[in-house]
Amino acid sequence: MDAYFEGQRIAILVDTANVYHSAKIRYQGRVDYKKLMDLIVRERKLVRAIAFVERSEDVEITPFLDALRGVGFETRIKTLRRTPDLKTKGGDWDVGIALHAAQLAHKVDCIALVSGDGAFIDLVDYLSHNGLRTEIYAFDGCVSNELTYHADYWCPIDEDWLMDK
């Protein structure tokens, strides 16, 4: 057991839309969420693992949600809606992820954010200023450099984290 991680409590928050599109762009693949969880948690105590999912009104995602839940993720779902002019609306999870992280701050020692979205820089700063370790897991080339700079640790996701083809 790695002594550094011994007793550390961790929460994992996954921006699944960011991860999905990044995996598709970088490797034409899909993330294996069981591997993802195992590689992040290591010897630490997992307090919560939450996957934030955006769903289109016309797309069936039940198998994806079942797979996430099957490996231990809680799911939060927002449905993207199309306006009459065919724009999408209502699916962004940035605020929701930030609120969940803030609510978890007193229950964990570390927040692992699986997203490369630079919109989370202020969240990372907030968590750090409140004594939490912040870790970013994202695909190299699909992550804000400033986000990785502000975090305590950043780990690039690569093909080892993907589902077998």
pLDDT digits (tens, 9 = 90+) for 90-132: 567 899 999 999 999 999 999 999 999 999 999 999 999 999 9
Give the domain ranges of the chain: 9-161
- Give DSSP secondary structure letters for 88-122: EES---HHHHHHHHHHHTTT-SEEEEE---GGGHH
Torsions phi, psi of 27, nearest 5?
Answer: -130, 5
- Fold adopted by 9-161: Rossmann fold (3.40.50)
pLDDT (average), residues 21-39: 94
Strand partners, 52: 15, 76
SS3 (DSSP) at 66: helix
Each residue of 42-67: pLDDT tens digit?
999 999 999 999 988 778 899 999 99
**pTM for this one?**
0.92
